[in-house]
């Protein structure tokens, strides 16, 4: 419970036994519910997460977006906080983000990884890819978003009702931001956090996911709205 609000943290995981341990060890005690959405990991992710107090949900169909949707359906908190299971986003920043969320009266707060302080945490290729994708989103939606690909968000669970979340893939990260910022009733804000090197192996395929995310942005902007 944080200032009268029930807090649910959701973490999608695909073979993150190393990272999830560090993330859960650092989880603040005011978090009411921790949901780890496991996509048939072949390592000890689920065991480690359960041992450290998380509720583990299994999603059999692969996909980052797919896993989040499953996690959202299980969440009970007033506010949902998300992050990766690779220990690249700081669990210690959750209280700072919640403070900003309340202070800014936000409904959706995006934690931007920029400016990157730890050079080792993001390659030049990833940096450029992120910049292109964020610029594309900003131009298409007339709203400056510094980090369209961030995986750390804080939002009121109630806004999910008004969202049309279709992506099952990595494009889910930009889609949820688009759904938030194009709803006039949702106050979208963004602040910086410290991002660091992930533990374990990266699941993102930079070229495939990067190009697909760009295509997804254009399709979502100009395609038929369902």
Residues at the site binding ligand GDP, with contacts judged by CB under 6 A: 12-14, 16, 37-39, 59, 62-64, 67, 84-86, 151, 198, 202-204
Residues 6+ apart with CB under 8 A from 189: 100, 101, 104, 106, 108, 109, 110
Among 86, 175, 179, 190, binds Mg ion (CB under 5 A): 86
For the bound state, the minimum distance from the C-beta of residue 85 to Mg ion, rounded and expressed in Å, comes to 8
The pair of three-digit structure tokens given for residue 106, joined into one six-digit string: 């936000």
Phi, psi of 125 (to 5 degrees): -60, -45
For the bound state, the minimum distance from the C-beta of residue 198 to Mg ion, rounded and expressed in Å, comes to 5
Residue with Cβ nearer ligand GDP (164 or 205): 205
- In the sheet that holds 188-192, the strands lie side by side as 55-58, 33-38, 7-13, 79-82, 153-156, 108-112, 188-192
Residue with Cβ nearer Mg ion (159 or 170): 170
For the bound state, the minimum distance from the C-beta of residue 46 to ligand GDP, rounded and expressed in Å, comes to 11
Taking the mean position of all CA atoms in its chain, how far away is CA 223? 24
For the bound state, the minimum distance from the C-beta of residue 179 to ligand GDP, rounded and expressed in Å, comes to 19
In angstroms, rounded to a whole number, what is the distance separating the alpha carbons of residues 205 and 78? Answer: 33
Residue 69 parent element (H or E): helix 64-74
Residue 203: which of Mg ion, ligand GDP, none does it interact with, CB under 5 to 8 A by kind?
A: ligand GDP
Taking the mean position of all CA atoms in its chain, how far away is CA 158? 17
Residue with Cβ nearer Mg ion (59 or 86): 86
Does 130 participate in binding Mg ion (rule CB under 5 A)?
A: no
Does 16 participate in binding Mg ion (rule CB under 5 A)?
A: no
Does 15 participate in binding Mg ion (rule CB under 5 A)?
A: no
Among the listed residues 175, 176, 173, the one whose alpha carbon sits nearest the alpha carbon of residue 203:
173
Among 17, 38, 59, 84, binds Mg ion (CB under 5 A): 84
For the bound state, the minimum distance from the C-beta of residue 78 to Mg ion, rounded and expressed in Å, comes to 26
Among 88, 110, 130, 134, binds Mg ion (CB under 5 A): 88
């Amino acid at each position: 419970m944080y200032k009268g609000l029930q807090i649910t943290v959701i973490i999608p995981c695909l073979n993150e036994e190393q990272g999830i341990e560090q993330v859960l060890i650092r989880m603040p005690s005011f978090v009411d519910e921790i949901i780890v959405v496991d996509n048939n990991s072949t390592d000890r992710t689920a065991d480690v997460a359960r041992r450290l107090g998380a509720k583990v949900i299994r999603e059999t169909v692969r996909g980052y977006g797919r896993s989040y949707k499953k996690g959202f359906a299980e969440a009970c908190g007033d506010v949902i906080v998300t992050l990766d299971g690779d220990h690249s986003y700081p669990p210690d920043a959750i209280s700072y983000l919640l403070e900003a969320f309340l202070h800014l009266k936000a409904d959706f707060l995006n934690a931007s990884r920029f400016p990157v302080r730890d050079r080792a945490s993001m390659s030049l290729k990833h940096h450029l890819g992120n910049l292109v994708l964020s610029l594309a989103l900003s131009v298409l939606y007339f709203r400056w978003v510094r980090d369209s690909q961030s995986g750390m968000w804080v939002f009121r669970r109630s806004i999910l009702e008004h969202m049309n979340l279709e992506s099952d893939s990595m494009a889910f990260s930009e889609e949820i931001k688009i759904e938030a910022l194009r709803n006039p009733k949702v106050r979208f804000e963004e602040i910086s956090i410290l991002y660091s090197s992930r533990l374990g192996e990266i699941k993102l395929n930079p070229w495939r996911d990067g190009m697909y995310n760009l295509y997804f942005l254009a399709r979502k902007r100009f395609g038929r709205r369902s």
